């Protein structure tokens, strides 16, 4: 689901800054080409110790520090105006900072009064913001702390510790807690709910479900509403009720449709929290789970018959198609047919909606694509030391938004038409938001 991610913003933002500063013209382009050509001819690398970009960064930062000192004292370096003044330069101290292109060694100027407080590279700061952003981005993409240490050593010739990587990524914990407690809209047309299982240490390592809720707003935007780590025993009505109560306490007073994967105890918790909500089982999950009970040789025939059920124009037509399906397969795959009978009550609401709404709630694929990104970010980690570490990685995945080139606004395709149909079927519930 492209709406949840974004990558090229950094490059585009840098280009915009160059334009704003008047440094993105033909002259600058020619200068950059000359510098790269000269470095290539002389065998100079672009990054790393002694690299072209490292040297340029050092020069820019060093010049900025000298300019800050001049502004602080009121005179330029070597200017006779500063002789015998109340304060003056007092040499410099060496400092190494880590940047997104590697380590840069600087000479930070000092003043005799000790009142100089540099802004470009503050005191006690050993990392520039771009470095931390890169570490956090790598962590969100699934690299472990060890992977990041090795990556920075290989690419940027920078040696850092695993502990430093953990401290950098822990910077997001405050943001994550605020995000988990943020107010939500009063009404959501659709909420999608699913779970992903992660290995988390709590005494011993155990499989722990992480419940994820994604809302579709009245404006047609997808928004991850929250995440909750459940007990190792699996889903239950009490756990679901606690999660949904949290959403209600944060402002959600009503949901028109809740689409989920037949999670045990969830339908009852939904109707307790939002009495007017329609509970809809994810159709794709039903089809996929059906195939778990069947031989692969029969998959094509089974899916063909199941399609007749979930594309039926009415509930009665779907019931007739299901009876034909059961008659053919119940003797061979009784568990598969029994699963459909158990899920029928949560399946048929889907058939009461017009085509526009059916397409929207047909599947929880939107949340499943988010779960796929979660799995990619957690696959290499084996297990997490605690719940907070697990949620931190998932939160970073959510925070990394990638714009969809085909849909830059992020709004669900055909949303205006869908909203009109939803409004007609839901009365004034959406209009009160």
Angle at 45 between CA 40 and CA 49, to 5 degrees: 150
240 and 124, same structural domain?
no
Last residue within a domain, chosen from 137, 169, 201: 169
351 and 243, same structural domain?
yes
237 and 385, same structural domain?
yes
- 96 Cβ contact partners less than 8 Å away, ≥ 6 residues apart: 103, 104, 105, 106, 126
Q: Is the residue at 180 inside a domain?
A: no
Q: What is the pLDDT of residue 433?
A: 47
- Radius of gyration of the chain from Cα atoms? 29
206 and 273, same structural domain?
yes
Which of 227, 127, 198 has the alpha carbon at shortest distance from 167? Answer: 127
The number of distinct structural domains making up the chain is 2
Q: Is the residue at 14 inside a domain?
A: yes
Q: Is the residue at 430 inside a domain?
A: no
206 and 156, same structural domain?
no
Last residue within a domain, chosen from 169, 194, 221: 169
The residue range of the domain holding 407 is: 185-424
Q: Is the residue at 174 inside a domain?
A: no
Please provide the DSSP assignment of 161-198 as one string. -HHHHHHHHGGGHHHHHHHHT----SEEEEEEEEEEEE
pLDDT digits (tens, 9 = 90+) for 144-183: 777 777 766 665 556 667 776 777 677 778 888 999 999 9
Q: Is the residue at 432 inside a domain?
A: no
What distance in Å separates the CA atoms of residue 264 and residue 269, rounded to the nearest whole number? 10
224 and 127, same structural domain?
no
Q: What is the pLDDT of residue 246?
A: 95
257 and 389, same structural domain?
yes
pLDDT digits (tens, 9 = 90+) for 234-292: 556 678 888 999 999 999 999 998 988 767 788 888 999 999 998 888 888 888 889 99
Residue 10 has pLDDT above 50, yes or no: no
Q: Is the residue at 179 inside a domain?
A: no
Tell me the pLDDT band of 22, cut-offs 50, 70 and 90: very low
Q: Is the residue at 255 inside a domain?
A: yes
205 and 162, same structural domain?
no
Q: What is the pLDDT of residue 205?
A: 85
310 and 200, same structural domain?
yes
What distance in Å separates the CA atoms of residue 98 and residue 49, rounded to the nearest whole number? 12
Count of alpha carbons within 13 angstroms of residue 297, beta-carbon side: 1
Q: Is the residue at 433 inside a domain?
A: no
Q: Kind of pairing, strands 102-111 and 187-202? A: unpaired
191 and 165, same structural domain?
no
Please provide the DSSP assignment of 356-389 as one string. HHHHHHS--HHHHHHHHHHHHHHGGG--BSSHHH
Last residue within a domain, chosen from 142, 169, 196: 169
Percent of the chain that is helix, strand, coil (3-state, to 5): 55, 15, 30
212 and 129, same structural domain?
no
- DSSP lists the bridge partners of residue 195 as 211
206 and 248, same structural domain?
yes
């Amino acid at each position: 689901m492209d709406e949840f991610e974004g990558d090229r913003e950094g490059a585009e933002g840098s280009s915009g800054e160059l334009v704003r500063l008047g440094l993105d013209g033909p002259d600058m382009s020619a200068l950059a080409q000359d510098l790269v050509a000269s470095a290539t001819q002389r065998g100079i690398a672009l990054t790393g110790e002694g690299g072209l970009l490292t040297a340029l960064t050092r020069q820019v930062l060093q010049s900025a520090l000298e300019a800050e000192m001049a502004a602080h004292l009121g005179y330029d370096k070597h200017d006779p105006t500063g002789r015998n003044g109340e304060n003056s330069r007092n040499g410099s101290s060496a400092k190494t900072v880590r940047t997104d292109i590697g380590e840069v060694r600087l000479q930070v100027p000092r003043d005799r009064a000790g009142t100089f407080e540099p802004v470009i590279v503050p005191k006690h700061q050993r990392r520039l913001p771009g470095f931390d952003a890169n570490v956090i981005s790598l962590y969100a993409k699934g690299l472990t702390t060890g992977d990041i240490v090795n990556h920075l050593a290989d690419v940027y010739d920078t040696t850092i510790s695993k502990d430093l990587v953990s401290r950098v990524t822990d910077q997001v914990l405050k943001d994550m807690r605020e995000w988990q407690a943020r107010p939500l809209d009063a009404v959501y047309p659709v909420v999608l709910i699913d779970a992903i299982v992660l290995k988390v240490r709590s005494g011993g390592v155990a499989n722990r479900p992480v419940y994820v809720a994604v809302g579709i707003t009245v404006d047609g935007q997808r928004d991850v509403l929250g995440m909750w780590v459940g007990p190792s025993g699996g889903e239950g009505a009490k756990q679901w009720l606690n999660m949904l109560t949290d959403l209600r306490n944060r402002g959600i007073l009503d949901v028109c449709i809740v689409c989920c994967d037949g999670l045990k105890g969830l339908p009852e918790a939904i109707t307790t929290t939002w009495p007017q909500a329609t509970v809809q089982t994810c159709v794709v999950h039903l089809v996929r789970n059906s195939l778990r009970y069947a031989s692969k040789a029969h998959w094509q025939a089974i899916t063909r018959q199941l399609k007749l059920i979930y594309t039926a124009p009415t509930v009665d037509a779907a019931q007739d198609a299901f009876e034909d399906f059961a008659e053919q397969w119940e003797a061979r795959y009784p568990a598969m047919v029994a699963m459909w009978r158990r899920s029928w009550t949560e399946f048929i609401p889907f058939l009461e909606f017009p085509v526009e709404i059916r397409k929207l709630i047909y599947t929880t694929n939107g949340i499943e694509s988010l779960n796929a990104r979660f799995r990619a970010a957690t696959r290499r980690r084996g297990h997490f030391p605690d719940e907070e570490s697990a949620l931190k990685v998932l939160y970073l995945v959510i925070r990394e938004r990638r714009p969809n080139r085909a849909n830059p606004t992020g709004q669900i395709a055909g949303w205006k038409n869908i909203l009109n149909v939803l409004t007609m079927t839901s009365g004034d519930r959406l209009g009160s938001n």
